[in-house]
Chains A and B, each alone.
Chain A
Amino acid sequence: MRSIPVADQRSGSGMGDAAMARARSTEDVVVGDEIVRERLSARVVHWIVALTFFVCLFTGLPIWTPYLGFLAHLFGGLHVCRILHPWAGVAFAVASVFMFVQWVSQMKLTKADREFITPKGMLRYFQYRNEDADVGKYNGGQKLLFWAAALGTVGLLITGLVIWFPLEFPQWVREASYLLHDAAFSLFFAMIIGHIYLGTAAEPGTFRSMIRGTVTKSWARLHHPRWYREVTGEKAGG
């Protein structure tokens, strides 16, 4: 049993939030009614990735189409976007490397995960028909997002470098890069829309895992039953 009493704080003072204090350096532990899901460093890395992603997105969209040209005004004009976009892209790629390293060991797809990410499995998930007691800390969809994001980032980085320094590359490489950068970013963005929706409106209680770093026990039991059992030591069906 890794559960610790609320009074046992490691925040240094007695005034802080016990769960958040634990979440600074630890995860997968029970603190009172909460379970620490993402330690501070994981959350910081995630938000740096998110911030650089949106800087890339909003500086890239006005270059992508004049219909979204108004977004350029957020940064001081299209010329600023064209300077900022590649550098934000580099920052995004670097932050993504840290994110990849911190989560990769937990993102191995199990047999159950592979079933989860089939069209049938995804439909079951979105229709709330999945009573899968075997979902661990991350479900198949989250793992799929992780790998798709990794692949997408590599694709965006490579094609982005070609677009940044086009004169160093042959014509066909440039042409392919414009097309692939376009395809990669649109699929990435479509995926992130789903990611944000699931992390906020669709599954209440999820967003706090990226803010406080903690989730409630009932949230964990609903969405990640096997992880809940592992962390709390409760038996299946309990």
Chain B
Amino acid sequence: MTADGLEIRQSSASVWGSATELRNLKVVSKLIDTTTCIGCKACEVACQEWNDLHIVPTTQTGTYQTMPSLDANYWNLIKFREVEESGFFAWLLRKDGCMHCADPGCLKACPAPGAIVQYQNGIVDVNPEACIGCKMCETGCPFDIPRYSAKTDKMAKCTLCVDRVQVGLEPACVKACPTGCLEFGDKAELVAVAKARVEQLKQNGFTQAALYDPPGVGGTTVITVLAHGDHPEWYGLPKDPQVPVAVSLWKNVARPLAALAIAGSFFAMVAHYLSFGPKTPKEGAEKPKGDKPA
């Protein structure tokens, strides 16, 4: 279900668009400070509980991680990664889940009208009723977030607890976080908080600390403070995420060209008929006895 009270900024496979721009809703944000995360997984539990998700069996992967990757019934996963490079060692924890891109690749790739919507406040949500289970969003997403459920033939992912946000509450994961490494609020304010934290980290010796708010997807609603900001891939984040070029090519170039080819063929045939008409035997052509005209 989508949140009825929120204005929609853009919608998948939309012909006319649905933004009215009547209301000026602030863009929200969730700040993840990976440097203060202790890997307690309270956010995972809160997410499961608030969203009433089915229990997914855990998988032992040799780390503290609950399971190898996200699931249609598991939208919030703390990723534990060990990085060892030329004598340097780091144990990195990052909360994985939908980034709620300003320019969402999933929404771009989706062929079902209204199945993926972006609200005016920046949250990207899924409407299972409109979802046709084609999995194109999984190809469109540069963060490998949407998960297809074979049981329901639908896609599912984090909604940023839009049902809570809509009534002025913070997302369940933020509510549960005991260290304050998760914060929720206006994006502009949280970016300022994050930048201050990055400065602090730099002074503490993490000279490459940075805020991860990738411009390739227009920035993200979920922003992340990384101690090793020069190596987002250590955290399992793409260095420069983009909506796949093929998705843009396909929707913005290939599709109009294809429409042109089809319409061109049709109108060429009409023009041909009007100029040349049907092909019939020449007048006065010799016809053997008993032969019917075509």
Q: How far is the CB of A209 from chain B (nearest CB, A)?
A: 11
State the total of A-B contacts with C-beta under 8 angstroms: 130
Q: How far is the CB of B161 from chain A (nearest CB, A)?
A: 27
**Is the Cβ of A166 less than 8 Å from the Cβ of B139?**
yes
**Is the Cβ of B261 less than 8 Å from the Cβ of A175?**
no
**Is the Cβ of B113 less than 8 Å from the Cβ of A167?**
no
Is A191 an interface position by the 8 A CB rule?
Answer: yes
* Of B26-34, B53-61, B203-211, B286-294, the one with at least 4 CB within 8 A of chain A: B286-294
Q: CB-CB < 8 A to B268: which residues of A?
A: 194
> Which residue of B15, B135, B261, B279 has the most chain A CB atoms within 10 A of its CB atom?
B279
Report the Cα distance A175→B266, complex, angstroms: 29
**Is the Cβ of A216 less than 8 Å from the Cβ of B293?**
yes
**Is the Cβ of A174 less than 8 Å from the Cβ of B139?**
yes
Closest B residue to A131 by beta carbon equals: B282
**Interface residues of B, count at CB 8 A:** 46
Closest B residue to A172 by beta carbon equals: B246
Q: How far is the CB of A70 from chain B (nearest CB, A)?
A: 11
Q: How far is the CB of B195 from chain A (nearest CB, A)?
A: 33
Within 200-238 of A, Cβ neighbours of B (below 8 Å) are at 201-205, 215-219, 221-223
**Is the Cβ of B292 less than 8 Å from the Cβ of A167?**
no
Contact of A204 among B111, B254, B278, B287 (CB under 8 A): B278
**Is the Cβ of A218 less than 8 Å from the Cβ of B287?**
yes
**Is the Cβ of A82 less than 8 Å from the Cβ of B273?**
no
Is A197 an interface position by the 8 A CB rule?
Answer: yes
Contact of B132 among A78, A194, A216, A223 (CB under 8 A): A78
Pull 7 A–B residue pairs with CB atoms less than 8 Å apart, ordered by A: A63-B132, A66-B113, A163-B134, A166-B139, A175-B245, A183-B258, A190-B264
B residues whose Cβ falls under 8 Å from a Cβ of A: 13-15, 111-113, 132-136, 138-139, 148, 244-247, 249-250, 254-255, 257-259, 261-262, 264-266, 268-269, 272-273, 276, 278-281, 287-288, 290-294
A residues whose Cβ falls under 8 Å from a Cβ of B: 33, 63-67, 69, 78-79, 81-82, 126-128, 163, 166-167, 171, 174-176, 178-179, 182-183, 185-187, 189-191, 193-194, 197, 201-205, 215-219, 221-223
Known: A126-B276, A178-B247. 15 other contacts (CB 8 A): A63-B111, A65-B13, A66-B15, A78-B111, A128-B279, A175-B247, A175-B250, A187-B261, A189-B262, A201-B278, A202-B276, A218-B287, A219-B294, A222-B279, A222-B280
